[in-house]
Structure 1
Amino acid sequence: MKNQLPFYSLEPSNIGGLIIEDIPEDISYATMPHQDDHYLVMIMMEGVGTMEMEGEVFHCTAPAMMVIKPLQVHFAHEVHQAKGWIISTAPFLLPDTLAIAFQSLQIKQQYASLRDAGDLIQMVLTLQATFNTSACPARYKPAVIKGLSDALFHRILPEFECILENSAQNIRQAAAITRQFMQLLQQESAAQTPAFFAQQMHITPAHLNDCVRETTGYPLTYWRQYAMLNAAKRLLYYTDKPVKTIAWELGYEDHTYFSRLFRKLTGDTPGNFRSKFHE
């Protein structure tokens, strides 16, 4: 379609769904509205810039950090003498605690000023050096990258948790219910029914679905499938367990149904996904 927004995906070659790079001097490629299928975390240590995300304009002054969620329309208005990093990561690589925090953020909460960020800078530099080095054997590099990125993500987490806590008193009931559902979704099988989650929260399935849709723009089914895909991708990527075993662990007794659902949602069979990320 002529007016369709550009849509960018991470390539599997980006070491299992993660890439870290310096903020480029030429940002002309990012000045047109576009979407990504992955998270972007921008850490700006010097300079200023203006970003727009889902119609909200952010005037960024370093040191600062911004997170952009998958499918959010965003672009840069201008950037001046910016130095820092852009971390692109597949959703399944995020620790569950950070995924919950990111999912709970309203658009205005996706920008954070940084203080006392010296340790964060060192962690980013270490991750970037490891990502770019050829000294680490290829068979070990994904595991090393995972360990370092997990540490960095857990360092990023409190910056956004603080924002959520500061605004907790102003959270509407729908947002509070949505956050509780997201937390339950990390603890229970995504194969559980909406009625199961609603019962745990002592509300009706219809009310739960209405609250989640109002807060996030997506229904319960979307988030259950989202959680299932992330859990499945982690098991496929980080373990050698058979697909049948993974399906059972995720709550799907019929592994063929699980495989069909995975292919329907991703365009890949579980086996093809595992092979691509292990090439």
Structure 2
Amino acid sequence: MPKKPKNIPIIAKSKDGEGIFISTMSVEDTDLFEDVKHSHRDDYHLFSLQLKGTTSLEIDFQKYTIESSSIFYINPNQVHRVVSFQNVSFSSLAITNASLSQENLKLLEEITPVKPLFLSAEKLSMVSEVVSLCLKFFERKDEKLYHSLLKDSCNVLVSLIASYYLEETHSADKLSRFETITKSFKTVLEHNFRTIKKPTAYAQLLTISTPYLNECIKNTTGYSVTHHIQQRIVLEAKRLLYHSGISVKEIAAELGYDDYPYFSRLFTKVAGISPLAFRKKNLE
């Protein structure tokens, strides 16, 4: 049985194109991409437009099948791997935080995580046209304003994709006060779950009272603020237990718990299984 890596592997893209890499390719055999067959994170945001064939992916313990005329987005925090390719043709954009506009970074925080999205013929045509333009700029490295042209065109593509995802949910101008606060809470939680554990602290960050925060979150999700905090912590713990070789005590410390027994009890309560049992059950 292969030994787990000490930490979750991270795949980095070349710095060519100022943290942007875009390509179109056809693949018949998953073996051409040995590195993506193993669980990993990326140091970039990945957008992939599937034009033909079938791709099977595993993202944070969920399995997805992506068919033609679909797009999917993977955030740098998500642990994922390609299970298989079946005669696929796709275009993909890898873009780092530094190359994304602040507006797009905020949009992506709001929609993460998402499922693969099927595109109508009209939307597929629109995305394909913008991808084609981005590819042309990516290849014209001798242009005087190469980086600006590439960066701006790729941000247009990201905005377009994000807009299609947002159409599947409420648009920002139609959100209720409760939904707006819930969105803000989830964004703040994503940035702070390792260091902030108490609902009161999140309420302070959002400049509202703790009871009102709980009311908003429970109204829109059906669960308490504490539930969401614990679920996010346990998701990260599961990622590290499954995909890395670091000890449970090290995982507890990385997630902000000096009291290892307390962390173990919390994990067991939320996951219904102890950390060690979860790791043993999921050994590959």
Superposed pair shares fold, TM > 0.5: yes
Structure 1 match to 2:155: 150
Letter in 2 for 1:8: I
Q: Which has the larger radius of gyration?
A: 2
| Counterpart check, 1:10 vs 2:18 | no
Count of residue correspondences: 201
C-alpha separation in 1, matches of 2:150 and 2:66: 29
Secondary structure of the corresponding residue to residue 80 of structure 1: strand
CA offsets, 1:82-133, max 9 Å, x none? 11212111123333443334323354x3311111221210110110111112
Q: How far apart, in 2, do the equivalents of 1:198 and 1:50 lie?
A: 39
C-alpha change, 1:74 and 1:63, in structure 2 (3 Å) is same
Counterpart residue number, 1:236: none
What amino acid sits opposite 2:166 in the alignment?
E
- Give the 3 Å change call, closer, same or farther, for CA 211–158 of structure 1 in structure 2: farther
> Does residue 19 of structure 1 match 2:21?
yes
Aligned mates of 1:163, 1:217 — CA distance in 2:
27
> Distance in 1 between the 2:140 and 2:226 partners?
48
The corresponding residue for 1:86 is 92
Give the corresponding residue for 2:183.
179
Q: CA deviation at 1:52?
A: 0.8
Question: What is the DSSP-based 3-state SS (H/G/I as helix, E as strand, rest coil) of the residue aligned with 2:16?
Answer: coil
Whether the 8 Å contact between 1:178 and 1:211 is mirrored in structure 2 is no
User: Normalized against structure 1, the TM-score is what?
Assistant: 0.60
Q: Say if 1:215 and 1:110 are closer, same or farther in 2 by CA, change over 3 A.
A: farther
Establish whether residue 133 from structure 1 lines up as the match of residue 140 from structure 2: yes
TM-score by length of 2: 0.59
Distance (Å, rounded) in 1 between the aligned partners of 2:169 and 2:186: 14
The Cα offsets for residues 29-87 of structure 1, whole Å up to 9 and x where unpaired, read as 32121111221111111111111111111111110011111131111111122112121
The answer on whether the counterparts of 1:178 and 1:215 sit within 8 Å (CA) in structure 2 is no
Unpaired segments of 5 or more residues in structure 2? 190-200, 218-224, 235-284
2:47 to 41, 56, 75: 41
> CA–CA distance in 2 between the matches of 1:99 and 1:206?
24
- Distance in 2, matches of 1:197 and 1:82, equals 45
Q: Structure 1: any 5+ residue segments left out of the alignment? A: 186-192, 219-279
* Residue identity (%): 13
The 2-side partners of 1:144 and 1:67 are apart by 23
* Cα shift readout 1:223-244 (whole Å, capped 9, x = no counterpart): xxxxxxxxxxxxxxxxxxxxxx
Distance in 1 between residues matched to 2:212 and 2:43, nearest whole Å: 29
